[in-house]
Amino acid sequence: MTRTVRGVVATASAVALLAGAAACESGGGGSAKGSQRLTVWLTVDAQESWPDLVESTNTRFAQQHPGVDVAVEYQQWTTKNLKLDAALAGRDVPDVVEMGNSEVVNYLVNDAFAAVDPANYDHSAEWLPALKEPCELNGRTYCVPYYVGARVGIYRTDLFQQAGLSKAPDTYPELITDLDALKARFGAQDHAFSALYMPGRYWYAALAFLKDAGGDIAVKTGDQWKSALSTPKSVAGLKAWKDLLDAYYVGDRSKDNGDEPAVVGQGKVAMFYGNTWEAEAAADPQSGGDPALKGKFATFPFPGPSGGPLPPFLGGSELAVPTKSKNQRLAQDWIKLFTDRTSQQRLIKANTLPNNTAQLADVDPAGVNGSAAKAAARGWVTPPAPGWVAVEKANILQEMLEDIATGKHTIEDATKTADGRIDAVINKN
């Protein structure tokens, strides 16, 4: 399944411990003459979905470095950063760590990761910007893109057929026409029916419309970041999102999309915007879904009002080498194998998007991830600002969107308030 990174970002206080410790105890270039044990921290996604890739990488690595033992330890997204902060504050550190692409900035500004040379890695010239840019600081690169996931439109094929719709919409006007048909066919009979599931605090969806309109979350001038949610283009994008929500979503506007598969699984949703794996989850009882819906979902590139695919948030993973690792060269060699073009092909077979634009063309356009591959070229990620962790921890975006969705404040007032809150913390690490 393609997943979007759901990591818990490190606290500023914990990360602050890293800079001094890293400066005092850097492993330098590292070499095979140091410890003969390489410790790799990956999240459980690799263990669950592509364990054979891990095994084949270790086999290839052993051929290059006989006698070096690779210990792969799998971490949960919800606890991995706390464990990493504790490790980096001491002496016993992992040599390779997996990070969400929206998590790395605080570690970079605190010198927690060693620099890498992109020229040593396959397709580095074509790395997806949403993975590449978070790894960069002051002209140097400090992590290597691993994989990515993109949100798409997902719809009930059976409900489309019953509403007389023969295919998924290709354009925004077609989307509106289809939603109107679904609302007329099913909404009149069931007032709890949503032609489109779009809860108010679903910020990945709302900000995709903002991006589609040419807006920004925040912009950088010189070395300072400033929130841009209240700029005309950003407001226009949020208005398009609000219009869609008002017309086609029936439900609690003060919630997020955390239980999206379970809600869709109740059978009162015709279309939603989500990760490709959520189509399967909506039919999986373990996710709260209904097994009777299995095989009744299909995906499509969700069209945006601007005329192209709606720009999706690209949630992905990076691989980094802690500065305190005593095996930096070995760690970089392992990452090189784990992310090369051969490994990316294996990820594609596991219905995951590759880390580069060149191999997006290898994704089966008719497969479950074909729509995501088409949308990924327009993907975006949160601003790589030192204080972005504080923005997310304070739920500023979610609270702004809830105020807009519920009508508590106008878009203009809500965005101005959010700008002020973001500006107060975005430049602090």
Q: Residues 39-91: pLDDT tens digits?
A: 999 999 999 999 999 999 999 999 999 999 999 999 999 999 999 999 999 99
Q: What is the average pLDDT across 170-186?
A: 98
Q: Are 11 and 85 in contact (CB under 8 A)?
A: yes
Please identify, in words, the CATH class of the domain defined by 12-149+314-376: alpha beta
Q: What is the average pLDDT across 197-206?
A: 97
pLDDT band at residue 368 using 50, 70 and 90 as cut-offs: confident
What percent of the chain is modeled with pLDDT above 70? Answer: 92
pLDDT band at residue 18 using 50, 70 and 90 as cut-offs: very low
pLDDT at 125: 97
Where is pLDDT greater, at 4 or 352?
352
State the Cα–Cα distance between residues 304 and 311, nearest whole angstrom. Answer: 8
Q: Are 300 and 373 in contact (CB under 8 A)?
A: no
Q: Are 135 and 318 in contact (CB under 8 A)?
A: yes
Q: Residues 124-152: pLDDT tens digits?
A: 999 999 999 999 999 999 999 999 999 99
In the chain, residues under CATH classification 3.40.190.10 are: 12-149+314-376, 151-313+385-423
- Given a cut of 60, whether residue 12 has pLDDT beyond it is no
pLDDT at 276: 87
| Mean model confidence pLDDT for the chain | 91
- Given a cut of 70, whether residue 10 has pLDDT beyond it is no
Q: Are 197 and 265 in contact (CB under 8 A)?
A: no
pLDDT at 375: 87
Encoded amino acid at 141, one letter: T
What are the angstrom distances between the C-alpha of 265 and each of 16, 179, 248, 255, 272? 43, 19, 18, 17, 11
Backbone phi, psi, residue 78, to 5°:
-75, -20
pLDDT at 14: 39
pLDDT at 217: 98
Q: What is the average pLDDT across 213-225?
A: 96
CATH fourth-level superfamily of 151-313+385-423 = Periplasmic binding protein-like II (3.40.190.10)
